[in-house]
């Protein structure tokens, strides 16, 4: 037997149960990974509450981890037993041992620890596609990043600065503003209520070519009103709740705007894209441009407390769960 956090019903953090589960066996194309560290992400909350649909119940939530391959099924070519590996975007993460499609695993460079890997694979590859593909951030761009002191946020601030951009980071407290500033946000705004006015002031009226909005319902309209004509609204999360249906005519009236709702799953669906995203991330971490901040660790069995802290906006940077 092994141990895992499972949910049998949707609900608050209390629905997560630390249970004995049979040791899984890798089928064709799969690998068994003994996990040394598991990543906590906001998407875990969405699967727990039912905002995102569970594939089946009971469900082992969690999308990210790092550890050592202990066995492989037939037709596995990417990895072998003994390899240090990490992954993001494959549900079933909150477990001491898990099986996973082997083509979702990437080998970890020796210099990257299991904890750092579990903290960065999902949030860091998200930052990679948002900054390098959804919109190609260029030197001289001024961009808005919401939840700038969070897991994705701190990585975005550092990486965007490294690309030569000026980051306007939105946060909910002065303490978080200082943290975002220390990690590359040139400007910080506490509270989003005056976002368009502040963006107008900071940009001298030009507004911004892109807003990265992970907060959703509470900030969508404020983000739209912060864009320059032909600007791109990237709505990539729902921390405050999902965005209600949008009247696309509004995009014309507000300056021929573009709107996208991207997901890491699409951007890393092809193995080549996954490898590119991971390699880019390993590069910026190895050269020191991006530092991964593991600001909270919990025992995996205490995942409920970690969820409560994340939802109460008490965390900064990344959180790792230890099996």
Please report the sign of the dihedral spanned by the C-alpha atoms of residue 193, residue 197, residue 203, residue 206.
positive
Closest to 62 measured CA to CA, from 107, 2, 122: 122
**Cβ distance to ligand NDP smaller for residue 3 or 258:** 258
Verify binding: residue 226, ligand NDP, rule CB under 6 A.
Answer: no
In the shown chain, the binding pattern of residues 59 to 98 toward ligand NDP, with x for contact by CB under 6 A and - for none, equals ----------------------------------------
**Cβ distance to ligand NDP smaller for residue 75 or 260:** 260
Considering only 26, 67, 93, 153, the residue that binds ligand NDP (CB under 6 A) is 153
CA dist 274 and 248 (Å) reads: 32
* Residue closest to ligand NDP (Cβ): 150
The strand pair at 166-171 and 185-190 is best described as parallel
Lookup result for tokens 């975002």: 180
In the shown chain, the binding pattern of residues 175 to 214 toward ligand NDP, with x for contact by CB under 6 A and - for none, equals -x-------------------------------------x
CA dist 206 and 177 (Å) reads: 23
Closest approach of Cβ 316 to ligand NDP, in Å? 7
CB within 8 Å of 276: residues ≥ 6 apart: none
Considering only 61, 149, 179, 281, the residue that binds ligand NDP (CB under 6 A) is 149
Closest approach of Cβ 75 to ligand NDP, in Å? 29
Verify binding: residue 126, ligand NDP, rule CB under 6 A.
Answer: yes
Verify binding: residue 49, ligand NDP, rule CB under 6 A.
Answer: no
CB atoms within 10 A of CB 2: 17
Chain mean position to CA 66: 15
Considering only 152, 185, 195, 306, the residue that binds ligand NDP (CB under 6 A) is 152
Verify binding: residue 128, ligand NDP, rule CB under 6 A.
Answer: no
Cβ contact 257:251 at 8 Å: yes
Please provide the distance, in angstroms rounded to a whole number, between the alpha carbons at the two ends of the chain. 14
Two structure tokens written together for 114: 């299991």
Considering only 68, 113, 240, 297, the residue that binds ligand NDP (CB under 6 A) is 240
**What does the DSSP assignment read for 173-239?**
SHHHHHHHHHTTEEEEEESSTTHHHHHHHHTTT--EEEEEE-S-TTTHHHHHTTEEEEEEEEE---T
CB within 8 Å of 94: residues ≥ 6 apart: 4, 5, 6, 16, 38, 44, 60, 61, 62, 300, 303, 321
Verify binding: residue 239, ligand NDP, rule CB under 6 A.
Answer: yes
Q: Which stretch binds ligand NDP (CB under 6 A): 13-21, 181-189, 201-209, 308-316?
A: 308-316
Verify binding: residue 237, ligand NDP, rule CB under 6 A.
Answer: yes
**Cβ distance to ligand NDP smaller for residue 69 or 192:** 192
Closest approach of Cβ 20 to ligand NDP, in Å? 28
Verify binding: residue 160, ligand NDP, rule CB under 6 A.
Answer: no
Closest approach of Cβ 218 to ligand NDP, in Å? 6
Verify binding: residue 277, ligand NDP, rule CB under 6 A.
Answer: no
Cβ contact 131:153 at 8 Å: no
- Report the interface residues with ligand NDP, using CB under 6 A: 41-43, 122-123, 126, 147, 149-153, 171-172, 176, 214-215, 218, 236-240, 262-264, 310-311, 313, 315
């Amino acid at each position: 037997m092994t141990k895992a956090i499972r949910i049998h019903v949707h609900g608050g953090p209390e629905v997560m149960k630390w249970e004995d589960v049979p040791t899984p066996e890798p089928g064709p194309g799969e690998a068994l990974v003994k996990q040394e560290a598991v990543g906590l992400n906001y998407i875990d909350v969405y699967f727990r509450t039912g905002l995102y649909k569970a594939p089946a119940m009971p469900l082992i939530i969690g999308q990210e981890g790092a550890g050592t391959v202990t066995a492989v099924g037939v037709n596995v070519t990417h990895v072998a037993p003994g390899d240090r590996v990490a992954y993001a975007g494959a549900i079933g993460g909150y477990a001491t041992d898990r099986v996973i499609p082997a083509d979702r695993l990437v080998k970890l460079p020796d210099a990257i620890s299991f904890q750092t890997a579990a903290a960065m694979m999902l949030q860091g590859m998200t930052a990679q596609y948002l900054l390098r593909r959804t919109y190609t951030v260029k030197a001289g761009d001024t961009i808005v990043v919401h939840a700038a002191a969070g897991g994705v946020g701190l990585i975005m601030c550092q990486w965007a600065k490294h690309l030569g951009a000026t980051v306007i980071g939105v946060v909910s407290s002065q303490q978080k503003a200082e943290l975002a500033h220390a990690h590359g946000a040139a400007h910080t705004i506490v509270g989003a209520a005056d976002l368009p006015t502040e963006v107008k002031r900071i940009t001298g009226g030009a507004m911004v070519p892109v807003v990265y909005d992970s907060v959703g319902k509470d900030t969508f309209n404020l983000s739209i009103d912060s864009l320059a004509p032909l600007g791109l609204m990237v709505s990539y999360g729902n921390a405050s709740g999902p965005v209600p249906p949008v009247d696309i005519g509004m995009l014309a009236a507000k300056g021929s705007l573009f709107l996208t709702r991207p997901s890491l799953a699409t951007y890393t669906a092809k193995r080549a894209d996954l490898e590119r995203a991971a390699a880019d991330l390993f590069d910026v971490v190895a050269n020191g441009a991006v530092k991964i901040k593991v600001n909270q660790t919990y025992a995996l069995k205490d995942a409920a407390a970690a969820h409560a802290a994340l939802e109460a906006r008490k965390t900064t940077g990344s959180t790792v769960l230890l099996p």
